[in-house]
Amino acid sequence: MSEVLFICTGNYYRSRFAEAVFNHHAQRAKLPWRAFSRGLAIEMAPPGAISPHTLERLQRRSIPLAATGPHPQPLVEADLRRATRAIAVKEAEHRPMIEARFPAWVERVEFWHVHDLDAALPDEALDELEARVRALVAELGENAPMQSSA
């Protein structure tokens, strides 16, 4: 099983949503991929297990909360080693943090441009993130090895 790692600041809002959406759609597509998520500075996240914006959007999409981890987790180097693909959800925000904390890994991290609550309304940010994640699932499905029907 290959794994994609979604990285954000607090592992509370965007990365958790990306993880859940990816896992839901990858499972439905029967892809040999699973997502997990981590935060670069979980101490900056508000109290609680998950953003109410994320929770509400997952409920609206009928994506079970079990498709994401139970609580915010900090990014450690072992997570980067474990991941087949690592995606930080906002380059301007996360590249400097990765450069400072995990400089050897910067070139292996893909950077998206999905804003946090300081620059976008939740519906805007989560719509964009959902579209990016669904496109990733489709890409991985296109690149999946053909299964023989022996």
- Number of domains observed in the structure of the chain: 1
The answer as to whether 148 is a domain residue is no
Where does residue 90 fall: left (phi above 0), alpha (psi -120 to 50 degrees), or beta otherwise?
A: beta
pLDDT exceeds 90 at position 150: no
CATH number at residue 118: 3.40.50.2300
- Helix (H) or strand (E) segment spanning residue 137: helix 122-143
pLDDT of 3 > 70? The answer is yes
Question: How much is the average pLDDT of 114-118?
Answer: 86
For CA atoms 36, 46, 64, 128, the dihedral sign is negative
pTM, two decimal places: 0.92
Smallest Cα–Cα separation from 97: which of 19, 41, 28?
41
What residue numbers bound the domain in which 61 lies?
2-143
